[in-house]
Structure 1
Amino acid sequence: MSLIDKISHKLTISFLTVIFMSTAAMAQTTQPVWWFGVSGAANFNFYTGTTQRLNNALITPTPFHKGNGVRPYASLLVEYRPGPVWGAMLNVGYDGLGAKFDGVEAPCNCPADLTSELSYVSIEPSLRLGFATTSLYFFAGPSIAINVNKGFAYTQLKQPNTNGDFSSVQNTIFSGQVGAGFDIPVSAPNSESKVSLSPFISYHPYFGQDPRNIESLSITTVRAGLALKFGKGHRAVVKDQPVAVAVATPVVSDVTFTVRGPINAPPVRRVSETFPVLNAVFFDDGSAAIPGRYVLLTKEQATNFNENQLQNAQSPSGTGRSAGQLTVYYNVLNILGGRMRANPAAVISLEGSSAQGTRDALAFAESIKLYLVTVFEIDGSRITTHGSLRAHPSSEHPGGTRELVLLGAENRRVDIESKSPELLVEAGGGMMKPVQINTTQENPLDFEVLFNVDSAQQKVKSWSVNATDERGNVQHFGPFTGNQQGLPAATILGDSPSGDYKITLLADLNNGSTVTKETSVHLLRPDPTVTSGFRYSIVFDYNKAESIAQYDKFLTTVVAPLIIDGATVTINGHTDIIGEEAYNQRLSDERAQQTQKIIERAIANSGRDHVKFETRGLGEDAAVSPFDNNLPEERFYNRTVIIDIVSVK
């Protein structure tokens, strides 16, 4: 959880505590239409982006990126409440947006610090939404801020302290704010003079809050405070009220229903895919011969082999299920032989494993060594072979009793190990160095309409959706049982170029009750122009999500630099079919979310923040899994997170 999320969470909990500890008194007089007052608050300011040129006289040797601080806010306010629901608010006040930046190290190994003292006069008109039965209210509106202080303080070891004004500060900035408050009456119910004490919290996102017209600084603010309001009401005629009798009603388990429309990208995409090559060869039961599905060359063919010949494998479907990608993997021994031939100093170890005994395991490894020596003419002294009963890492666990046939097939293999970076890479802790593939995707997953029913597998027996267009035509889809279901946008649109649809969830719960939810989505048939993008895959060990740490450097230094401002990054987590479906769903969610966090951190550190993420776990869903689950290598490749970088129009 980020710092801003932690503070927002604590402030929200505190605010709700005040609400639930307060009880509204029954009014003996009418409520005022006009309220006047003052407010005081603390601004929790968060800086992101980059600053280095503080003014024309000072450019710091090391840029500053993030900062946070607490500054005061005070305002005069007026509220107009013609009724209990709709109203308007206006706050005019002093807005402190200063903060202290995270310390940096100058090239002289000198710690350096920067404190901003930016402040403004802010004008914040808002629309107010209240309720007839509670004193809770919400508000939202624009914010206009006029700069009154541009100051900063810069300190660096071995240098005199510098106090000055930022240059290129925008005199006026336009942004927005949204928040909530709770009016607590402190005057007597029968008094015409009304006094209200109102705790409030508001959120001011970074949109528009760029204080300077150079560099990339932006400010996000969470404001929490208290308002004191005064108004004048009138005597009300109170009639006798009937006594209400509470009637117990059964509690119905609820579900959360969301719909995500497709991203604004064409349905056909050329993709430059960095495809990881598994450093393992799987053997058939009862045979030490290299299985026929692996591509084995003659000595003459090996002379002309170059892994660049594999670059144009095609991916005809959006899920990535492609014989072309497996063809790359099935050339693993030829890729290995070519790389060893090109790097005479590289050595490898072939680690065989077989539950039938170390003799069988060693025979697997010797088969591969023989192929490399006789076909690619690799010196046998560069290849060592070993045999063991269990693979490392193993797909089987001590005491396990389920799906042992599938797991046993995965452990009947030879792992290729090497410390040579020309053969294997750090990412993943032992993958073969990736191969670049040029593929074409048609109707990729991010072009689907995604329906999500939270906790459906625990609460819902089955669910379906109705899509109603503007003319009242209804399409029915389902029933479904999982948490998520995707449908191509074209399936709903039919022949229409675009449309607005009312989406209705119909869910039958496990407790016998039913739930109906409604939302809406706008669909647009995209321009059929073919675009391009980048794809990366990371592959996990069996039942592991924490191995994402092994990919931190790879995601940070290789993947993140390709993501430009305005791009959309789709991250889809998958698993194989081994294990419980619900567990696999959670595992794929965790893998995808951890991947997003690493990439988000990397692009934030580089000053890019206008990047949209579409992240989801798809579990073991066979309809969208990258590969089948019949062979051990297919299941290995399905334990994956696939990252697509799309430049959206």
Structure 2
Amino acid sequence: MVAMAGITVKAQTTIAPTWWFGVSGAANFNFYDGTTQRLNNSLIAPTAFHKGHDIRPYGSILMEYRPARSVLGVMLNVAYDGRGGKFKDVVAPCNCPATLETNTSYIAVEPSLRLTVPSTGLYFFAGPRVAFNVSKDFEYTQLKQPNTNGQLSAMHKTLISGQVGAGYDIMVSPASSTTKVSISPFVSFHPYFGQEPRSIESWSVTTVRAGIALKFGKASKITPKAITTTPAPMHDFVFTVTTPTGVPLKRQVSETLPLRNSVFFDEGASQIPARYIMLSTDQASIFREQQLQNEQSDNMAGRSARQLNVYHNILNILGDRLRTNPGAVIVLTGASAKGPADGKELAQAVKQYLITQFAVDASRITIAGRNKPLIPSEQPGGTKELLLLRTGDRRVDITSTSPELLTEVGGDMMKPVQINATQANPPDSQVILNIDSAKQLLRSWSVDVTDDKGTVQHFGPFIDDQANIPGNTILGGNSSGDYKIVMTGETRAGVPVRKESAVHLIRQDETPTKGLRYSILYDFDRSNAIVSYDKFLTNVVSASITDGSTVIIHGHTDNIGEEDHNLKLSKERALDVQHTLERALIKAGKTNVKFETIGFGEDAGNAPFENNLVEERFYNRTVIIDIIPVK
């Protein structure tokens, strides 16, 4: 670009055609209503026909006028228009089945006003339909009677009705060609207004049409005046690669899983949803919370299925804790947009399960109802994605003043569950790639990783500033290796970008150290954790961090809201946790601790959970803390 500065540039472009011509083919989905019984002057069916439907062909020659620099245009189709169909069979008084099939068709003239969505191939159209009848045949059969083929009487020779529809122009010709060709799928709706085929009875037809058009236009070339351009200097992208000291194959993890103190109910239902694990009385009698502790998982993150299974046992965990601690009491507060009475009914369903299955004394459980939970997801004045937010507000919250049920992070959360698991490709095995301003300035970017034997592995394309690749994927069957990493991308202006780096990786084959994992849960669209988390981070999490440890902090959000906002929010959440831990470590005299803090936003590839269930979205509003002690 610098070399081209000051050079006279000449270019040719084409002006889009104003006139387009072509043909189209479609299927008419015809739906009949009303009544028809007098087929013609010589045949009256003994029983009237009412409902009917069929699919008939449609074909047209077309013309379009699209003025330059205007979103408005006009269309004209002259078509063969099949409107026949089959009526639902009836039974004549003689107990004889009877059938009727019509073969009506028209020559249709359809002028329409066309509205184009700028910078896209999408367009909408609407206009009248003038149809001239060319066929009015019918076929009537009745058991024990000869078949009758004839022509319907009292048919309107001309019909005037209307249509609305949409289509999409897909250009298939080269951009530089003056002969433009487009393929355009379309769909239109023809309501029954004006489509009563006959002057007698009440027979009417509604049609949905779906088809495809082939259009041709002649573009013109223009030669712009010679201009002198001086391109702006291109951004000097910075590409960095962070590698682990050793790449572990797997790691044993002791995870402290926070328990959301909520049971979410489906809209319109007052029964506990089937996805929650419900036990019989005999099963509940032998259930112990510790049974969930040693579940194993060997997937990349080792979270979603395992954690969700633990959460879906929340009522059984609660029942076990109430049974083990006979002095503990709880309050169940149901929230429903239908009102406090409906919310109280939700709370009663949870109470009844604990009483019936775990033999908890009813006097230990208080229930209440509200319109919204104390901390609702839907905020006053909010207008976006309200349906998803409201599903999170139809729930029963569990609170208690009994210390046996409290978590270390405050009195409105249940005590966490400890889980022992094995992680494959743990967080500290990842090779982290960073290219600054990629999301803002690049269309996409990829990397080629080449070993000392010339073998190339390709990863990408990526669109964010950061990407992760498991170190074990790069190493393959090698115990160690030197790798050249080449990043290639393209700016939004079409300029290629290339950066290089090199890394050395070593597989950690010996018995891995045991890691610790904690999670911090956030309320919707909040970046600062509840104040009581400070005590948990300071007294519990930071106390577990030894000198020389690496602390990996990942921030996440659910998929509600704008992607850029969620990415910023996840980074704020992760940094909020890091700063709290740093203050606690400095106070404790621990300075030799390395932090790797990342915000992933709503990125589905790195999210702990799916976003299909409301509880998955609640658990995705999280910061995950992995503590990797020094060997």
TM-score using structure 2 length: 0.61
Conservation of the 8 A alpha-carbon contact between 2:302 and 2:421: no
Match of residue 422 from structure 1: 404
Q: Aligned to 1:374, what secondary structure does the other structure show? A: helix
Q: Aligned to 2:443, what secondary structure does the other structure show? A: strand
Choose the corresponding residue for 2:503, options 516, 521, 531.
Answer: 521
Match of residue 562 from structure 2: 580
Match of residue 340 from structure 1: 322
Q: Is residue 453 from structure 1 mapped to residue 463 from structure 2 by the alignment?
A: no
Match of residue 159 from structure 1: none
Deviation per residue, 1:17-54 (Å, 9 max, x gap): xxxxxxxxxxxxxxxxxxxxxxxxxxxxxxxxxxxxxx
Conservation of the 8 A alpha-carbon contact between 1:428 and 1:538: no
Query: Which is greater in Rg?
Result: 2
Deviation at 1:426, TM superposition (A): 4.8
Choose the corresponding residue for 1:310, options 286, 292, 298.
Answer: 292
Q: Is residue 356 from structure 1 mapped to residue 338 from structure 2 by the alignment?
A: yes
Choose the corresponding residue for 1:394, options 371, 376, 398.
Answer: 376
Q: Aligned to 1:595, what secondary structure does the other structure show? A: helix
Deviation per residue, 1:338-381 (Å, 9 max, x gap): 22223233222111112233332111101011111222222222
Deviation at 1:253, TM superposition (A): 2.7
Deviation per residue, 1:567-590 (Å, 9 max, x gap): 211111111111122211111111
Deviation per residue, 1:69-120 (Å, 9 max, x gap): xxxxxxxxxxxxxxxxxxxxxxxxxxxxxxxxxxxxxxxxxxxxxxxxxxxx
Amino acid of the residue matched to residue 624 of structure 2?
I
Partner Cα distance (2:483, 2:247) in 1:
20
Partner Cα distance (1:494, 1:344) in 2:
55
Question: Relative to 1, partners in 2 of residues 1:249 and 1:458: Cα closer, same or farther, differing over 3 Å?
Answer: closer
Conservation of the 8 A alpha-carbon contact between 1:267 and 1:442: yes
Partner Cα distance (1:429, 1:503) in 2:
50
Partner Cα distance (1:332, 1:498) in 2:
45
Deviation at 1:428, TM superposition (A): 5.9
Deviation at 1:462, TM superposition (A): 1.0
Q: Which one has the bigger strand percentage?
A: 2
Match of residue 444 from structure 2: 462
Match of residue 554 from structure 1: 536
Match of residue 472 from structure 2: 490
Deviation per residue, 1:193-247 (Å, 9 max, x gap): xxxxxxxxxxxxxxxxxxxxxxxxxxxxxxxxxxxxxxxxxxxxxxxxxxxxxx9
Partner Cα distance (1:328, 1:510) in 2:
45
Conservation of the 8 A alpha-carbon contact between 2:246 and 2:507: no
Partner Cα distance (1:255, 1:385) in 2:
59
Q: Which 10-residue stretch deviates more, 574-583 or 426-435?
A: 426-435
Amino acid of the residue matched to residue 464 of structure 2?
G
Deviation per residue, 1:287-330 (Å, 9 max, x gap): 11111111222233323322111111222223233422222111
Deviation at 1:607, TM superposition (A): 1.7
Deviation at 1:251, TM superposition (A): 2.1
Partner Cα distance (1:302, 1:470) in 2:
59
Q: Is residue 608 from structure 1 mapped to residue 590 from structure 2 by the alignment?
A: yes
Amino acid of the residue matched to residue 583 of structure 1?
H
Partner Cα distance (2:491, 2:325) in 1:
62
Choose the corresponding residue for 1:501, options 477, 483, 496.
Answer: 483
Conservation of the 8 A alpha-carbon contact between 1:273 and 1:436: yes
Match of residue 407 from structure 1: 389
Conservation of the 8 A alpha-carbon contact between 2:245 and 2:505: no
Q: Aligned to 2:565, what secondary structure does the other structure show? A: helix
Conservation of the 8 A alpha-carbon contact between 2:538 and 2:581: yes
Partner Cα distance (2:271, 2:534) in 1:
37
Question: Relative to 1, partners in 2 of residues 1:510 and 1:429: Cα closer, same or farther, differing over 3 Å?
Answer: farther
Amino acid of the residue matched to residue 395 of structure 1?
S
Q: Is residue 324 from structure 1 mapped to residue 272 from structure 2 by the alignment?
A: no
Partner Cα distance (1:426, 1:559) in 2:
11
Match of residue 580 from structure 2: 598
Partner Cα distance (2:306, 2:481) in 1:
36
Conservation of the 8 A alpha-carbon contact between 2:550 and 2:629: yes
Question: Relative to 1, partners in 2 of residues 1:639 and 1:612: Cα closer, same or farther, differing over 3 Å?
Answer: same
Match of residue 240 from structure 1: none
Q: Aligned to 1:547, what secondary structure does the other structure show? A: coil
Q: Aligned to 1:349, what secondary structure does the other structure show? A: strand
Conservation of the 8 A alpha-carbon contact between 1:573 and 1:619: yes
Amino acid of the residue matched to residue 354 of structure 1?
S
Q: Aligned to 1:644, what secondary structure does the other structure show? A: strand
Question: What RMSD in Å do the two structures reach over aligned CA positions?
Answer: 2.0
5 Å-filtered alignment, 1:8-19, equals none
Question: Relative to 1, partners in 2 of residues 1:489 and 1:384: Cα closer, same or farther, differing over 3 Å?
Answer: same
Q: Which 10-residue stretch deviates more, 262-271 or 286-295?
A: 262-271
What number of residue pairs does the alignment pair up?
Answer: 403
Deviation at 1:544, TM superposition (A): 0.9
Conservation of the 8 A alpha-carbon contact between 1:570 and 1:643: yes
Amino acid of the residue matched to residue 254 of structure 1?
D
TM-score using structure 1 length: 0.59
Partner Cα distance (1:633, 1:283) in 2:
10
Q: Aligned to 1:485, what secondary structure does the other structure show? A: strand
Partner Cα distance (1:627, 1:446) in 2:
20
Amino acid of the residue matched to residue 612 of structure 2?
N
Conservation of the 8 A alpha-carbon contact between 1:592 and 1:616: yes
Partner Cα distance (2:274, 2:603) in 1:
29
Partner Cα distance (1:475, 1:344) in 2:
60
Q: Aligned to 1:525, what secondary structure does the other structure show? A: strand
Amino acid of the residue matched to residue 623 of structure 1?
G
Partner Cα distance (1:638, 1:494) in 2:
31
Amino acid of the residue matched to residue 526 of structure 2?
K
User: Gaps (5+ residues) in structure 1?
Assistant: 1-246
Choose the corresponding residue for 2:492, options 495, 506, 510.
Answer: 510
The ranges of structure 1 where at least 4 consecutive aligned residues each deviate by more than 4 angstroms after the TM superposition are none
5 Å-filtered alignment, 1:165-184, equals none
Question: Relative to 1, partners in 2 of residues 1:283 and 1:446: Cα closer, same or farther, differing over 3 Å?
Answer: same
Deviation at 1:481, TM superposition (A): 0.8
User: Gaps (5+ residues) in structure 2?
Assistant: 1-228
Match of residue 634 from structure 1: 616
Question: Relative to 1, partners in 2 of residues 1:529 and 1:311: Cα closer, same or farther, differing over 3 Å?
Answer: same
Amino acid of the residue matched to residue 642 of structure 1?
I
Amino acid of the residue matched to residue 537 of structure 2?
L
Question: Relative to 1, partners in 2 of residues 1:576 and 1:438: Cα closer, same or farther, differing over 3 Å?
Answer: same
Question: Relative to 1, partners in 2 of residues 1:466 and 1:336: Cα closer, same or farther, differing over 3 Å?
Answer: same
Q: Aligned to 1:531, what secondary structure does the other structure show? A: coil
5 Å-filtered alignment, 1:85-124, equals none
Match of residue 629 from structure 2: 647
Conservation of the 8 A alpha-carbon contact between 1:275 and 1:435: yes
Deviation at 1:456, TM superposition (A): 2.2
Conservation of the 8 A alpha-carbon contact between 1:447 and 1:488: yes
Q: Which 10-residue stretch deviates more, 425-434 or 448-457?
A: 425-434
Q: Is residue 276 from structure 1 mapped to residue 284 from structure 2 by the alignment?
A: no
Conservation of the 8 A alpha-carbon contact between 1:350 and 1:386: yes
Q: Aligned to 1:636, what secondary structure does the other structure show? A: helix
Partner Cα distance (1:514, 1:356) in 2:
57
Q: Is residue 380 from structure 1 mapped to residue 353 from structure 2 by the alignment?
A: no
Question: Relative to 1, partners in 2 of residues 1:392 and 1:249: Cα closer, same or farther, differing over 3 Å?
Answer: same
Deviation at 1:337, TM superposition (A): 1.7
Partner Cα distance (1:300, 1:497) in 2:
52
Q: Aligned to 1:463, what secondary structure does the other structure show? A: strand
Partner Cα distance (1:569, 1:426) in 2:
21
Conservation of the 8 A alpha-carbon contact between 1:592 and 1:617: yes
